[in-house]
């Protein structure tokens, strides 16, 4: 009997030891995984670092590229395109003006009634129209005919208060958000279609001419007064409300910047110097690249696998199109190399661009005690359930690293523009306003605050008080109408 008891005790002890060993081994495995995950995140954080010294190098590199791009065509990664906008709205424009904003599968027709200094924008109305998919791959004639017919319908349905005096033409600003080689204020040839459009016969053609012919076929007496990039439109919209606006930046799905340059500082400009002595430059700053940019292996792989490898490097670091995708790639690395979400890599985590920047923003801004928003986003989007608080906290840390790197680099870019304009130093009574637009800037509050704080840090106390970041909403719409007003053929008639 005693032998049986001893035997049973030995078996129990052995079982207990085995269980204990299993638990210890499991914990060691788990702690090993976590140590590996922490090492990956710490390495990523180190490579994303943007100390002020590095940001100043980025800003200086931006300024060097700006000079090179202004000197000659193709002299820089920055295109520094001449917009032919040499006169921005002053706020005293009067009359009825229109805008056509074509930037994707929808377009907007906008009507703006301006009342001069006293009344400003009296009335603004817009209508959005979806383009039928077959017209996006059909003929140039059919596409522009459809657009012109919608413009004509918008105009002919107007009430009598919008009727112009006899003999006076309506004037329109055309925002065309596709790659264009601009040849004058109101002409530009299409370089290539993007965003799902594919009409080969339009490539190399003047898009203003195509639109004008279609408008004439509708029997509508309307002149296209300006062909405008959406960033230039944002600058015009900002200037209309505030005469100290000298630059505009869009931070949304994509990114770009435009600013006011002294005409004599543009060596590649061979025409007569404009009366204003100024010219708006469309930088196309998304294509900026420099050895000072903090690129990681995730950024390099994203670029290699993109539709435009080697291009738009700055955009791939700071814009809404890519921030969420960078986060997905780091999480995938954690899942593969550190079993961050368990032994199996979540299949949805392997799907490119499944994690969008708005999802990342929601997780980053989660203030709940248990980070439940992070948990629900991981479950709903990536199919990852039962995440621990520790795991969620690590995800938030990654959001912070990626967003703040993007925001701080954006601030460095803006500082580069201000430095090029000589507005990075304190002078008496000089007020500088930069107009910003785009969903990333508007809705991602941590990104916006980081950008503003970083710019203030770079400028220093003496200068920061005179530099203002101002949100300029819907520049691509109203801005085009305002540029049409600033370049109206009736300006001299109206002022006499």
| Phi, psi for 182 (deg, rounded to 5) | -75, 135
Which pLDDT score is estimated for 105?
83
| Phi, psi for 278 (deg, rounded to 5) | -125, 160
pLDDT by residue for the chain (496 residues), tens only, comes to: 555 555 555 454 445 444 444 444 444 456 689 999 999 999 999 999 999 999 999 999 999 999 999 999 988 999 999 999 999 998 889 889 999 999 778 899 999 999 888 888 888 889 999 999 999 999 999 999 999 999 999 998 888 777 777 778 999 999 998 888 899 999 999 988 888 888 999 999 999 999 999 999 999 999 999 999 889 999 999 999 999 999 999 999 889 999 999 999 999 998 888 888 999 999 999 999 999 999 999 999 999 998 889 999 999 999 999 999 999 999 999 999 999 999 999 999 999 999 999 999 999 999 999 999 999 999 999 999 999 999 999 999 999 999 999 999 999 999 999 999 999 887 777 899 999 999 999 999 999 999 999 999 999 988 988 999 999 876 677 899 999 999 998 876 655 5
Which pLDDT score is estimated for 7?
54
Out of 230, 303, 424, 437, which one is annotated catalytic?
A: 230
108 annotated active-site = yes
33 annotated active-site = no
Whole-structure pTM value: 0.88
* Alpha helices (H) along 48-203: 52-71, 116-119, 140-156
Which pLDDT score is estimated for 355?
96
Nearest to 267 by CA among 281, 255, 256: 281
242 annotated active-site = no
Which pLDDT score is estimated for 23?
45
Which pLDDT score is estimated for 21?
42
Out of 177, 319, 361, 476, which one is annotated catalytic?
A: 177
Out of 108, 111, 329, 356, which one is annotated catalytic?
A: 108
Which pLDDT score is estimated for 318?
97
Which pLDDT score is estimated for 165?
74
């Amino acid at each position: 009997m005693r032998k049986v008891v001893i035997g049973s005790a030995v078996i129990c002890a052995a079982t207990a030891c085995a269980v204990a060993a299993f638990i210890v081994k499991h914990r060691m495995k788990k702690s090993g995984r976590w140590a590996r995950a922490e090492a990956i995140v710490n390495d990523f954080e180190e490579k994303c670092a943007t100390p002020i010294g590095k940001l100043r190098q980025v800003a200086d590199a931006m300024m060097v590229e700006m000079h090179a791009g202004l000197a000659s065509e193709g002299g820089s990664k920055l295109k520094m395109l001449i917009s032919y906008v040499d006169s921005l709205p002053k706020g005293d424009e009067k009359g009825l003006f229109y805008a056509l904003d074509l930037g994707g599968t929808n377009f907007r027709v906008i009507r703006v009634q301006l009342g001069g200094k006293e009344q400003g924008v009296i009335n603004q109305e817009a209508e959005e129209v979806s383009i039928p998919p077959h017209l996006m791959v059909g003929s140039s004639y059919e596409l522009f005919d459809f657009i012109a017919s919608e413009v004509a319908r918008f105009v002919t349905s107007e009430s009598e208060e919008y009727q112009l005096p006899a003999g006076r033409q309506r004037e329109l600003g055309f925002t065309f958000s596709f790659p264009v080689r601009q040849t004058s204020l109101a002409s530009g040839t299409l370089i290539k279609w993007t965003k799902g459009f594919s009409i080969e016969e339009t490539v190399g053609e003047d898009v203003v001419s195509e639109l004008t012919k279609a408008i004439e076929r509708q029997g509508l007496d309307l002149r296209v007064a300006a062909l405008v990039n959406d960033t230039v439109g944002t600058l015009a919209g900002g200037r209309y409300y505030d005469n100290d606006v000298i630059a505009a930046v869009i931070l949304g799905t994509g990114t770009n910047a435009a600013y006011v340059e002294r005409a004599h500082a543009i060596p590649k400009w061979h025409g007569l110097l404009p009366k204003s002595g100024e010219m708006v430059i469309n930088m196309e700053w998304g294509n900026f690249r420099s050895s000072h940019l903090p690129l990681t292996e995730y950024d390099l792989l994203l670029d290699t696998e993109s539709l435009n490898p080697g291009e738009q490097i700055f955009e791939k670091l700071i814009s809404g199109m890519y921030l969420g995708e960078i986060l997905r790639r780091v999480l995938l690395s954690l899942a593969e190399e550190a079993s961050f979400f368990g032994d199996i890599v979540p299949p949805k985590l392997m799907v490119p661009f499944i994690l969008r920047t708005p999802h990342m923003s929601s997780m980053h801004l989660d203030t709940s005690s248990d980070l439940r928003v992070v948990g629900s986003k991981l479950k709903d989007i990536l199919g990852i359930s039962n995440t621990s608080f520790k795991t969620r906290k690590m995800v938030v840390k990654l959001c912070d690293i990626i967003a703040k790197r993007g925001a701080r680099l954006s601030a460095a870019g803006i500082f580069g523009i201000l430095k090029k304009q000589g507005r990075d130093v304190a002078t008496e009574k000089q007020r500088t306003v930069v107009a910003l637009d785009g969903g990333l800037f508007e809705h991602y509050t941590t990104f916006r605050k980081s950008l503003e704080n970083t710019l203030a840090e770079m400028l220093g106390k003496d200068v920061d008080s005179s530099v203002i970041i101002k949100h300029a909403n819907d520049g691509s719409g109203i801005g085009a109408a305002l540029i049409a007003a600033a370049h109206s053929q009736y300006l001299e008639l109206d002022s006499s």
